Chains A and B, each alone.
Chain A
Amino acid sequence: MVRVQVWGSLKPAIGGDDSVEVEGETINDLLKALSEQYPGMAEAVRRGVSVTVNGEMYANAVMVPVKPDDEVFILPKLVGG
């Protein structure tokens, strides 16, 4: 299980907490599991998110491996100028 933390306004989507544990070995696994378990997360994932793993930001490289003790954050999809 990997603990996934979400940005504040996504808390209601995962039941009110700021994090939740889900099964997965890659970012893709985690996003898929979150989407299946929490409909509110499914919409956020569909619209696009960025994910940090141990502080490293991944915009759309979803096959990045994750381990149970990794720090994983889901954030809004980044754009730049």
Chain B
Amino acid sequence: MNVQPDNKAMKRDFDIVGKRTPRPDGIDKVTGRARFGADMSMPGMLWGLVLRSPHAHAKIKRIDTSKAEKLNGVHAIVTSKDFGPCDDSLLDIRENVMAREKALYDGHAVAAVAAVSRSVARQALKLIKVDYQVLPHVTDVDEAMKPDAPVINDKLFTKGLDKTPKKPSNIAERFEFGHGEVEKGFKEADLVIERTFRTEATHQGYIEPHACVASMGADGRGEMWVCTQGHFMVRNTCAGLLGIDVSNLRVTASEIGGGFGGKTTVFIEPVALALSLKANRPVKMVMSREEVLRASGPTSSSSIDVKIGMKKDGTITAGDATLRYQGGAFPGSAVPYGAMACFAPYDLKNVRAIGWDVIANRPKQAAYRAPGAPMGAYAIESVIDELCRELKLDPIDVRLKNASSDGSKASYGPNFGVIGLKATLEAAKNHPHWKAKLGKNQGRGVACGFWFNFGGETSVSLNVNVDGTVGLSVGTPDIGGSRASIGNMAAEELGIPHDKVRCIIADTASLGYNDVTDGSRVTFASGMAAIQAARDAIGKLCERAAKIWGIPVDAVVWEKGHARPASPNAGKHEPLSLADIAAQAGATGGPIAGHCEINAEGAGVSFATHMVDSEVDPETGHVKILRYTVFQDAGKAVHPSYVEGQFQGGAVQGIGWALNEEYIYSKDGRLQNPGFLDYRIPVCSDLPMIDTVIVEVPNPGHPYGVRGVGETSIVPPLAAISNSVSDAAKVRMTRLPMSPPNVLKALGRI
């Protein structure tokens, strides 16, 4: 028998994969049984609250906690002094979770209290006296780059230049990507358009705020219950910040009410653990919405220059872009990924993208779905759209003419493998949406988008139960339906019904290390590991069948959930189902399990094309999205309903980013709209049904052809909507959000 099947063999004939099976978490979520971050309580638990800076930039001269410590019911107070030496890689996180010499943004944590109740903790916060020396601040990316801007970090010297500057500045690093000769390319063009674009910082807008319970015992062993995209990351980071052995900290991931990248790092978790360590009691912390907006990790705001040349036949002769992203008060904005991704949809001979990573007095940015890519795509796809309009060319035909395809050289360097961009464009061109009529003040826009996707470290265990059911333990929190897709892949491989497999998210003590749920990696990587774990288990099931039949193991094959003799020469034996073999597991050698520990590689890149119709009210500046269709390559859609959900979710978040969402800072550097009334994410009444077309160009790097789908869907919307609004308003939009005031300004009405 084939005990070690070829793990790279691509399966294309499926019984379960590709079916819309019931979601395994559905009943729990609609009945309230699902346990989210704030749902955990422990005996003797205290409540933790954080004191935050009211200043955008201030030196912390003194913190006096003496009065708060004396308040009845207060058990612990922590400041930066409670976070000692740590590895260099954690220094910025340490400073972000608790300010040290300076408060670097409005909302920066300065101290924290654990008390018997929230009200006592709140009283204690009022008794902590912080002596600040307010410093000049800067929150705008272009202002922060000016030579006379207030310097936030006097140890920051720009990297990526020919020579390191002698003076510190807010410019952390310069990145450059590209090939060819852009100036030569511009000379070959019949039309060159150059524009500058601006986008505002937005938040991931997850509905569930950050929440955790930390319990550190007197024996030095701790447990945490955390709403996170990566509980192994939480364990390692918290252990590193507080000098705890990794094995002494066990972290369980709660159910998660949205993350979108914003829960790939820590904010309150190390603080809760530090408080618990000091109080010797469990400590629960739950961020308010205001805290989430002021002090978690939004995306960057950006300022982007783009220049593109095109021939009359639609050939793009050169593209040049300079992207400036502020990533908050610490280096590490997503600008390199924006610069790498922005021209990736096009096979260009001459292309250059320069990225500037800039710091400003804002919260440290965190990942947000395809970090950095939507802003870059917005700028490039807008100029391509304008070139098409000026040259009277069909925007889909032009994109098809220039589209990257199998083997073409990516704008960021390497050659692409098998990719599906052209298939998404063909699907868009042939869709009824493209030919539908538009009315007065209405417009249509299209745009393409790209994201890398990746795999990463993954560990899975698959246990065959005595009744023939299967328990599947994975270590990647389910933020978009991965329990269904991973469970279905295991069931497909084992040849048993999908509802015989129960997939759970195991805690950090129960599995090998797993990277965070990010990079659109989980259905790809944990799915690949589940397939391999199932194949491992199948090998053992066949060994048991061979024992039962008294024949060599290589005379047994596994087909449709049964062990069968490989040929008539193996003897006449009735097939044994997985349940038959499981029932005899004890007698034939003990428990049967499959495992897989991999660093999953081979994640295929992903492309999408979006098409949007909008209507602009010239009197109010209000934009209504009339129709929206997403065309995206999924490789193989394991669970089509969840894939469509990812497409729709990305589009909807893009609609919010394009039309209304923005961080608004006042002149004193304080956030003016830290709540969902003033920071307006789209609600159902703002949206049409988002139509989806799943394109399937299999990824050769996955046994079932899977590509990650979670992030690419947020890359094209900003541009597609802007192109649609520009068509409707008959004026080129160059600034997001396209909120009513900004649209009226563009129309010259105010």
Contact B175 A81 (CB under 8 A): no
Given A57-B603, A73-B413, residue A80 in contact with residue B711 (CB < 8 A): yes
One of A8, A55, A61 near B414 (C-beta < 8 A): A55
Contact B518 A79 (CB under 8 A): yes
Beyond A7-B175, A79-B337, A80-B367, 5 additional pairs, beta carbon < 8 A: A5-B413, A57-B454, A76-B175, A78-B454, A80-B454
**What would 15 A/B residue contacts be, using CB atoms closer than 8 Å?**
A5-B413, A8-B177, A9-B174, A11-B176, A12-B161, A56-B417, A60-B457, A76-B340, A79-B367, A80-B519, A80-B520, A80-B521, A81-B260, A81-B261, A81-B518
Chain A residue at smallest Cβ distance from B178:
A8
- Most chain B CB within 10 A, of A10, A71, A76, is at A76
Question: How many A-B residue contacts, CB cutoff 8 Å?
Answer: 99
Chain B residue at smallest Cβ distance from A81:
B261
CA distance A73 to B368 in the complex (A): 26
Which residues of B are found within 8 Å of A26, using beta-carbon distances?
none
One of A12, A56, A80 near B601 (C-beta < 8 A): A56
CA distance A8 to B355 in the complex (A): 11
Contact A71 B519 (CB under 8 A): no
- Most chain A CB within 10 A, of B173, B264, B454, is at B454
CB distance from A27 to the nearest CB of B (A): 11
Is A37 part of the contact surface with B, judged by Cβ < 8 Å? no
CA distance A2 to B706 in the complex (A): 31
Give the interface size class of chain A: 20 to 34
CA distance A76 to B341 in the complex (A): 12
Is B250 part of the contact surface with A, judged by Cβ < 8 Å? no
Contact A80 B261 (CB under 8 A): yes
Is B497 part of the contact surface with A, judged by Cβ < 8 Å? no
Is B452 part of the contact surface with A, judged by Cβ < 8 Å? yes
CB distance from A24 to the nearest CB of B (A): 18
CB distance from B717 to the nearest CB of A (A): 15
Given A57-B603, A59-B455, residue A76 in contact with residue B336 (CB < 8 A): yes
Chain B residue at smallest Cβ distance from A62:
B599
- 0 or 1 for each of A24-62: is its CB under 8 Å from B? (1 = yes): 000000000000000000000000000010111111110
- 0 or 1 for each of B268-306: is its CB under 8 Å from A? (1 = yes): 000000000000000000000000000000000000000
CA distance A75 to B710 in the complex (A): 22
Contact B340 A75 (CB under 8 A): yes
Within 8 A of A (CB), among B353-373: 354, 367-371
Is A1 part of the contact surface with B, judged by Cβ < 8 Å? no
Which residues of A are found within 8 Å of B178, using beta-carbon distances?
8
Which residues of A are found within 8 Å of B261, using beta-carbon distances?
80-81
Which residues of B are found within 8 Å of A10, using beta-carbon distances?
160
Contact A80 B599 (CB under 8 A): no
Which residues of A are found within 8 Å of B368, using beta-carbon distances?
81
Is B486 part of the contact surface with A, judged by Cβ < 8 Å? no
Contact B416 A79 (CB under 8 A): no
Chain B residue at smallest Cβ distance from A76:
B336
Contact B599 A60 (CB under 8 A): yes
Which residues of A are found within 8 Å of B599, using beta-carbon distances?
60-61
Contact B177 A81 (CB under 8 A): no
- 0 or 1 for each of B598-609: is its CB under 8 Å from A? (1 = yes): 010111000000
CB distance from A53 to the nearest CB of B (A): 9
Contact A9 B518 (CB under 8 A): no
One of B177, B354, B415, B518 near A71 (C-beta < 8 A): B415
CB distance from A55 to the nearest CB of B (A): 5
CB distance from B554 to the nearest CB of A (A): 30
CA distance A8 to B413 in the complex (A): 10
Which residues of A are found within 8 Å of B369, using beta-carbon distances?
81
Is B162 part of the contact surface with A, judged by Cβ < 8 Å? yes
CB distance from B665 to the nearest CB of A (A): 23
CA distance A5 to B177 in the complex (A): 11
Is B232 part of the contact surface with A, judged by Cβ < 8 Å? no
Is B701 part of the contact surface with A, judged by Cβ < 8 Å? yes
Is B456 part of the contact surface with A, judged by Cβ < 8 Å? yes
Which residues of A are found within 8 Å of B343, using beta-carbon distances?
none
CB distance from A46 to the nearest CB of B (A): 9
Within 8 A of A (CB), among B361-401: 367-371
CA distance A61 to B599 in the complex (A): 7
CA distance A78 to B605 in the complex (A): 13
Contact B601 A61 (CB under 8 A): yes
Which residues of A are found within 8 Å of B451, using beta-carbon distances?
80
Chain B residue at smallest Cβ distance from A6:
B413
Chain B residue at smallest Cβ distance from A59:
B454
Contact B176 A7 (CB under 8 A): yes
Given A73-B413, A75-B412, residue A64 in contact with residue B601 (CB < 8 A): yes
Which residues of B are found within 8 Å of A58, using beta-carbon distances?
601
Contact B414 A73 (CB under 8 A): yes
Chain B residue at smallest Cβ distance from A48:
B89
Contact A78 B177 (CB under 8 A): no
Contact A56 B367 (CB under 8 A): no
Is B556 part of the contact surface with A, judged by Cβ < 8 Å? no
Which residues of A are found within 8 Å of B417, using beta-carbon distances?
55-56
Contact A81 B370 (CB under 8 A): yes
CA distance A61 to B603 in the complex (A): 13
CA distance A81 to B368 in the complex (A): 5
CB distance from B713 to the nearest CB of A (A): 11
